[in-house]
Structure 1
Amino acid sequence: MTDPTTASVTEDSEHIAELRQQLRTGSEKKQLQLISELTSLGATGLEVLMEFLKEQQSTPANLVTGLAYQALYQVNAPNTTAFLQTHFPTGLVPLRSEVGIDYLPLQQRLALADFLAADRLTLEKLCELAGAAAIQRKWLYFSEVENFPITDLQTINTLWFIHSQGKFGFSVQRELWLSFGKNWEKLWPKIGWKAGNNWTRYPNEFTWDLSAPRGHLPLSNQLRGVRVIASLLSHPAWTSTSKGDG
Structure 2
Amino acid sequence: MNIDKFRNLLRLKFGVIFKNFYLGTGSIIAVVFSVVLQVTLSNAAFNGQKGQFILIMTVFFNSIMSTIMMISIPIAQEKEKNRLKASVANSNNHTGYLFATLIPVFLIIMGINMALPLLSGVQMKLISYILYMIITTILTIMSLIIGLLIGISSKKISDTSYIIVYAILFLILIPQIGASNGFFEKVSNFIYTGVLLKMLMKVSTNQPIEISIFPLFIITIEFIFSIALIFILIRNKRLKINQ
The TM-score normalised by the length of structure 2 is: 0.29
The TM-score normalised by the length of structure 1 is: 0.29
| Bigger radius of gyration | 1
Higher relative contact order (CA 8 A, sep 6+): 2
